[in-house]
A and B are shown apart, each in its own frame.
Chain A
Amino acid sequence: MSTATVLREKQADAAYAPDATDRRLIVATQEGLPRVSRPYHAIAEKLGISADEVIARLQRMLNGGMIRRIGAVPNHYTLGYQANGMSVWDVPEERVRELGPRIGELDFVSHCYHRPRHLPDWPYNLFAMVHGRDRAEVETKMALIAELLGEADHGHTVLYSTRILKKTGLRLA
């Protein structure tokens, strides 16, 4: 990514800096919304602001991308997706931007990122999280990615998680 792109992104992010009330709203909702008929009213009462303001602030954060989405966050283990492979690929740096979005479009990939290599220990620069019901399913999906990458695949592997050591998610104090 060019320095100019990085700077532009940082400037855009800075424009969306949440104020003190937004922060209180984030803290009040990061664990989830109340399961009551008027959840935004319940939050509003807790924060001492109006429900209209809660809704307007959430809408603003949603529009600005500070909230990715609002809804159900399924537990993929409980849904039967027991094999979760972090697939990592060594692709030519100049082709990452072309290939990354194509891998991200695959319906079994939940996250796809360009990350730095650490040579010589870590040659991989494209990461795609692949979910399957078992490892065979993940391997099949890996083969589909390899096929899509073709000669741009200079090496790959998949790292299966064996244990969750910690999982808390975003926490603002």
Chain B
Amino acid sequence: MDATDRHIINNLQGDFPLCERPYAEAAARLGLTEDELIQRVEAMLENRTLTRFGPMYHAERLGGALTLAAMKIPAQDFERVAQIINDFPEVAHNYARENAFNMWFVLATETPARIGEVIGEIEKTTGYPVYNMPKLEEFFVGLRFEA
């Protein structure tokens, strides 16, 4: 990654314009040409420096629901349970973590009621309790990564 890519990452994590030629407008702010910005964004998506370029939607504000849930799974059963959980389309992320609570996943559903249903199905299918940890308050969500 060169200085121009860093400049793009550090200054284009929000505020992409809503206008006829947004890349041209954003490029002007960054001191680049429209073509150069488009090509660099495309290249950074291809080499996975960027995971996405576009709108970041807020699930709850769209009427859906999100929750973070954790489970304590014995090592010998970990892969089986991970497979069951990952097969649910409502599971957006699932991470293995170093703790007695070793499996952490995010459920994203189109309705709040569906959260409880999926948790019930996961408990029934896996045989382990799910610790539901929905957010009670959000103090900060933002990406401030500097490249």
Residues of A within 8 A of B (CB): 1, 13-14, 16-18, 26, 29-33, 35-41, 51, 55, 58-59, 61-62, 64-76, 78-79, 81, 86, 96-97, 100-101, 103-105, 107, 109-116, 118, 121-122, 127, 131, 157, 159-172
Contacts and interface: CB of A to CB of B under 8 A. Distances in A.
Interface of B: 8-9, 12-16, 18-24, 34, 38, 41-42, 44-45, 47-63, 68, 70, 72, 82, 85-86, 89, 91-101, 103-105, 108, 110, 131-145, 147
B82 A165 contact: yes
A159 B63 CA distance: 30
What DSSP secondary structure best describes chain A's contact surface? mixed
A163 B50 CA distance: 20
Contact of A37 (B34, B45, B48, B145): B34
Contacts of B52: 31-32, 72-73, 169
B13 A122 contact: no
Given A18-B63, A73-B53, A74-B145, A160 B22 contact: no
Contacts, number: 244
